[in-house]
Amino acid sequence: MGVETMTSFPIEAVRGKFPALSLTDKGRRRIYLDNPAGTQVPQAVAYLEGRGVPLALAQSHGIGWVPDETPCPDGSGPEFTIWQRKFLRSRLVFPITDGLGRVIGLQTRRLDEKVYRTYYAVSRDIYPPAFGLASSMPHIFETGHCVLVEGPFDYFAVRAAGATTALALLTGTPSRALLALLRRYVTHVVALLDMDEPGRHGVARLTQELTPRGMTVAAPSYPAHDPGDFWNTPLGKRMLPQWVQVDDLARALRFG
């Protein structure tokens, strides 16, 4: 599959926001997250599709790929710094945006290990750090409903199950900014965090912070580590759609 089919990460949107992730080297060297040689992109696309994320869906969420080496536009040599070589190359990049789609951070992941690294250009207490916010926010506003998961692939799993109001927290603990967003726009939360101790603590905090304000928090238990794994089981295919979809009654109550 050609490199032209893979979306580049819009790193230009965070110019000057990541001191360690230099967009330029003295104004000359830009970071490109597509691969001109096309040697690694098919591998990344195959990985995404193997995880249930079609290329078009990945493109619509701005997912990109950092190749092993990226030549400078002026041909002056490799542009990766030592920091970039260690933490960025050979990784998928998931842009973190605000509700308007402006990039405020990024999360990276290698294909050969389940390790994420997350970088923010702004304080997590100012902007809600969540993957999928720009895509889901119109539906959240319309319905007052939100499905919370932890990781990007959990997000895509619940989307496949029918969730149009999903957000990935990128951690097990909701930030103060995210809690403020939920209090303002949401009346019902479905918390499908990981079935481990951090996930349980996250559900407890959501319940503690939201239910005293008249909001409801549903946290179904399921026999898997995370929603992504659960979606790949027959039981998950049956139960997740029932848990995540907004029914007509909920929409009517929102604006009734």
Backbone torsions φ then ψ of 199, nearest 5 degrees: -65, -40
Burial class (CB in 10 A: 0-12, 13-18, 19+), 18: middle
* Residue 105: DSSP 8-state: E
Q: Where in the chain is the domain with CATH 3.90.980?
A: 3-120
Q: What is the pLDDT of residue 167?
A: 96
Q: Which fold has domain 133-245?
A: Dna Topoisomerase Vi A Subunit; Chain: A, domain 2 (3.40.1360)
Residue of 124, 159, 119 lying closest to 139 (CA atoms): 159
Q: What is the pLDDT of residue 129?
A: 80
Split the chain (256 residues) into runs of 10 and give each run's mean pLDDT.
32 40 33 39 81 83 69 44 60 82 81 80 76 92 94 94 94 89 93 94 94 91 94 95 72 42
Q: Which fold has domain 3-120?
A: DNA primase DNAg catalytic core, N-terminal domain (3.90.980)
Q: Largest Cα–Cα distance of the chain, in whole Å?
A: 63
Rounded to 5 degrees, what angle do the CA atoms 198, 200, 201 make?
65
Q: Where in the chain is the domain with CATH 3.40.1360.10?
A: 133-245
